[in-house]
Chain A
Amino acid sequence: DTGVSQDPRHKITKRGQNVTFRCDPISEHNRLYWYRQTLGQGPEFLTYFQNEAQLEKSRLLSDRFSAERPKGSFSTLEIQRTEQGDSAMYLCASSMAGQGAGEQYFGPGTRLTVT
């Protein structure tokens, strides 16, 4: 297994367009997380799945954001009607339930630029 992968790595979109990102976690990991990171800041938690269930959502996740993990494997994060403030790095991480808490393995991220 090569680790957590994310696609695309970079996305440039115009304000008002919808975008969708994909995350493929480490295959045996049943927990999946989305974070957002802006320049000069640490990642901020967005949402968390255990298997296909979305168990936690941050207040940062406005109603324009939706995340899914339909079969408990890969996940998608969609942003509707993008705004310039959505420009950030979107990071996905995965972990195994019962594993030492905190050992989340991160993907390379998707950098979103909204023009």
Chain B
Amino acid sequence: NAGVMQNPRHLVRRRGQEARLRCSPMKGHSHVYWYRQLPEEGLKFMVYLQKENIIDESGMPKERFSAEFPKEGPSILRIQQVVRGDSAAYFCASSASGGSQPQHFGDGTRLSIL
């Protein structure tokens, strides 16, 4: 499967715990984007990364949220001390280059906070 791979598909956490969401981009893609989707809503941009660099994190909350895309391995979106309002679907997309280029999405991680 050469598509964008996200895991886990479903994640349940209790308030105060940490959530780690992983994303492996399409083969040959070095640009990764994270989006959040609430029920019945569109996708909201969170962060854009290239290997080892955060390019744009303007859509990511300043506290509790962080993202990385190491030289080796998947991109990680990390949410510390989760709250009920963090419950959402988190999607990762990748592209071969930056700028206005096609972004290909994974099937997302559904995060539920108890």
Whether both chains belong to one complex is answered with no
Q: A residues touching B (Cβ–Cβ < 8 Å)?
A: none
